[in-house]
A and B are shown apart, each in its own frame.
Chain A
């Protein structure tokens, strides 16, 4: 197991380097002059030239890339933004926890609300309750999070005046954004759980458990759920990886000072080092989340644990 984790962590290096290279290249060849953006249209050519020289933008492409990688991966320094000339590392440090907190809360809700709904639906399949829940889930999963966000702020902030609609000055400010990020995931998790549970409910080991005299509740929650968890984990893990950066538009809707707003603003103002820095950090986090997802599989399913090798007393038993 430890060997597997180390292997996966080592694999992070080429992945993150690759992502960095791709985004770096794309931004490099994007039309438009960053110097004009940074200094304004009225600036002189000499000033622009000096600015470019100072930031190493006149160096050959590969030299620029190598220098960037050196700064980022060896010193953790993402450079300074074009507009405002602020440290990107500091900016990310203050914004990332906010986005991470949002994503984490949303994932928790996905899991804690979506999975039980799916289980209830599967156990009461084809009943009115099942139909209503699944119709709702289909409705929610089809709606983009930012739109739900807009609707929620109209209802709860504007009309009912119960919750704040923008900014981030206390716990209550998290409620609406988290709900609008989570709703899609809750529905997806519920639908996935339902179909997996239905698969599992029909299997022979459920009958074996029933024949042992185990109560229906324990059969579903102990014997069923653990078997159904793998695809649910896949789904929620994938959603989580996306959520870290994907809540961008929702963050803007609620004007939350997270990674999403930072990145969107940077894209609009062609602040390439900021975009690049955000993408590198987010891709790194996505890889970590996917690694955790894979480890969760092993935690749930002994067959996958066996495949990870790494293992205590496995090999000699298999040929017995």
Chain B
């Protein structure tokens, strides 16, 4: 891990302590992100993607969530060790997050403009008027006319709300942006617009980006590196080319196989048989083993460490095929 890594996550474990038992949401995730790079976190619902992002910002709901192990370093600084006040200075300033559901991510009783200005005022130590001016500029940057500054969220459409959420996240020009399924709640045309907007802004501002999604289309379009997450563990991790042209993990292959092929007349989607394991009762070994065709008893015995198959391409599997699958 040389180079200029803006973010390094090492062996992260997160648990939720609920009434029914301990939910193991993240189990030994290690990732790194180079400055200016875009990392895609792909996986099913409940795989722990959002939990990873929230633990970077330290905005997990405490209780019940708890980081039990691991370190997260941002620009070399251990985020687990700094005080809450120091963390607050990073939040929204150096690290910002775009949330999944634009409908509820904005506060209904304040104007959209003031919600964008709030972060600017806080971090850039400028006057109220100056912050309002910059918030207006942010609105225009995401394609909303400045006159809508004094509107309330209920006067915005879904796509505009998501743009406003993006404007809030980008207001202080963060070094690292965590985008948690920013397009999931939107319809397809708006999705395309929002993605385009994010791409433009990323290229213009040079922001490093973690894109959480379950859409391979978005990954193919926007990401440099991809981590495939399953039951809180990274199954396969590599460059976009590694994943799309040379994927080696049976889970990744299963995901790709379940994509419908446009050139064939398919009535049913090919799915991976079985369900994701209950996070309260994870298998001891590879979490994917119960659904994996290649699984042997060896897979159930203990944690499987990632192996580097080609430089920068890590696969957590005991039976890595010689040649990968290409999509």
Contact = CB atoms under 8 A, between A and B. Distances in A.
B152 A212 contact: no
A227 B91 contact: no
B262 interface: no
Nearest to B116: A212
B107 A212 contact: no
A296 to B, nearest CB: 13
Interface string A122-134: 0000000000000
Contacts of A208: 99, 105-107, 115, 165, 168
Given A204-B104, A317-B151, A211 B109 contact: no
B259 interface: no
Most buried by B among A202, A204, A210, A211: A211
A45 interface: no
Interface string B135-165: 0000000000000000110110100000001
A204 B99 contact: yes
A318 B104 CA distance: 18
A318 B157 CA distance: 9
A150 B57 CA distance: 55
B199 interface: no
A205 B96 contact: no
Given A210-B59, A212-B119, A213-B91, A317 B155 contact: yes
Contact of A211 (B92, B101, B110, B154): B92
B83 to A, nearest CB: 12
Given A211-B97, A302-B152, A205 B104 contact: yes
Interface string B210-242: 000000000000000000000000000000000
A301 interface: yes
Nearest to A229: B109
Contacts of A301: 108-109
B301 interface: no
B122 interface: yes
Main SS class of interface, A: helix
Given A227-B107, A301-B108, A303-B108, A213 B165 contact: no
B93 interface: yes
A301 B151 CA distance: 13
Nearest to A200: B107
B245 interface: no
A42 interface: no
Contacts of B157: 320
B270 interface: no
A86 interface: no
A223 interface: yes
Given A204-B99, A205-B107, A208-B105, A303 B118 contact: no
B123 interface: yes
B90 interface: yes
Given A302-B152, A303-B152, A213 B108 contact: no
Contacts of A203: 104
Which of A203, A213, A226, A227 has the most chain B CB atoms closer than 10 A to its own CB? A213
Interface string A173-210: 00000000000000000000000000000111101111
Given A227-B109, A301-B109, A317-B155, A211 B91 contact: yes
Given A203-B104, A303-B154, A212 B118 contact: yes
B245 to A, nearest CB: 35
A208 B102 CA distance: 10
Interface string A299-319: 011110010000000000110
Contacts of A212: 91-92, 96, 118-119, 122, 168
Smallest CB-CB A-B distances: 5 pairs: A213-B91, A212-B92, A213-B92, A204-B104, A302-B152
20 contacts: A203-B104, A204-B104, A205-B105, A207-B59, A207-B99, A208-B99, A208-B106, A208-B115, A211-B96, A212-B96, A212-B168, A213-B89, A214-B88, A223-B107, A301-B109, A302-B108, A302-B154, A303-B154, A317-B151, A317-B155
Given A207-B99, A208-B105, 19 more contacts: A202-B61, A203-B104, A204-B99, A205-B104, A205-B105, A205-B106, A208-B99, A211-B96, A212-B119, A213-B89, A213-B90, A213-B91, A213-B93, A214-B88, A214-B92, A223-B107, A227-B108, A227-B109, A303-B152
